[in-house]
Amino acid sequence: MTELILVAGAGGFIGGQLVRDLERQNFEVRAVDRKPLKNWYYESSTAENLVLDLKEMGSCRLSTNGATLVYNFAADMGGMGFIEHNKALCMLSVLINTHLLMASQESGVKRYFFSSSACVYPDYRQSETSIQALREVDAYPAAAEDGYGWEKLFSERMCRHFAEDFGLIIRVARYHNVYGPYGSWDGGREKAPAAICRKVAMALISGNKTIEIWGDGKQTRSFMYIDDCLKGTQLLMKSNFSSPLNIGSAEMVSINQLVDIVESIAGIRLKRSYKLDAPTGVRGRNSDNTLIRETLGWEPSISLRTGMEETYRWIYDQVKARAEGRPFVAAL
């Protein structure tokens, strides 16, 4: 009998890409998101596509009925601009994970994956740009990022207790800044790699060779390309490792260095204007990949340069199409 896989948040960037990848592997997929289908990043022609609000228990019961595996990516989130100004909306995502866990337990789901975030790590471990890479044990004593980070940390605990009390097999990934083509690149929910690609593309197309950078550009991060994210997620789901696990690149760069990379790809040099009052998050964040190497025998390996070349090429096409007044979204 074919296993049915539920992808919650399938209309989003990671969820949509996972649906596409599971289709390639000939799995039966149920894709669920609250957005209208026309707004999904990827609409499968073979999956069962459902438009449902997973904050509602009834929607979660419908979604999990008959499913064997559940991947939960559903959340209200975006880049730092969105997270800083929408803390309540971010916190309300706790309803999704709570109800989806309850429905999964009722429906006899075999394995449940929760997409957590590096935002669960305490501010006090990320106050310098030369940050020591974050280990999984560093999440406690807790002082998660307000709003989004606290929701993710609470939901991790909820997953843990469903495993302990009901025997539901749980896998939790702490993602570190996932990026790539076919994601948000404008409108306020985009993250730094996409925003910088958009700004560089706009400068190249318009001839206005300036770029606004949020903060002083010295803040540091690591960024993981979507293909690595998908591989690590599925490896973790199949594994016997039950604690939260970092899935992120260990290649840390400053935002200024990220701009350097995109400028090099585009073949342009821009004058930089620093918006010091913009939301920037913590000063430094990087993934310690010791545990993922030990448990999965693997870690993200696609270089930032390689991933940004693909991402910039796609975003440039979007920006150019918009400037010319025509729609453009290359098919996945």
The domains found in the chain, sorted by start residue, are 4-179+224-247 (3.40.50.720), 192-221+251-287+302-323 (3.90.25.10)
Does residue 1 register a pLDDT over 50? no
Does residue 82 register a pLDDT over 90? no
Q: How far is CA 16 from CA 40, 42, 185, in A?
A: 8, 5, 16
Looking at 41, 42, 112, 148, which residue is catalytic? 148
Contacts for 160 with CB less than 8 Å, ≥ 6 apart: 170
**42 tagged catalytic:** no
pLDDT tens digits for 224-247? 999 999 999 999 999 999 999 999
Backbone angles phi, psi at 274, to 5 degrees: -100, 120
Mean pLDDT lowest for which of 80-84, 108-112, 121-125? 80-84
DSSP E strand stretches across the chain = 4-8, 28-33, 48-51, 69-72, 111-117, 169-175, 178-179, 210-214, 220-222, 224-225, 245-247, 252-254, 271-275
Give the span between the Cα atoms of 66 and 4, in whole angstroms.
7
Does residue 84 register a pLDDT over 50? yes
Contacts for 116 with CB less than 8 Å, ≥ 6 apart: 152, 153, 155, 156, 172, 173, 174, 175, 244
**103 and 57 in contact (C-beta within 8 Å)?**
yes
Check residues 87 and 7 and name the one with the higher pLDDT: 7
Three-state DSSP class for residue 300:
coil
pLDDT tens digits for 277-328? 988 889 999 999 999 999 999 999 999 999 999 999 999 999 999 999 887 7
Q: What is the mean pLDDT of residues 272-276?
A: 95
Q: Which of 294, 283, 282, 280 is nearest to 246 (CA)?
A: 294
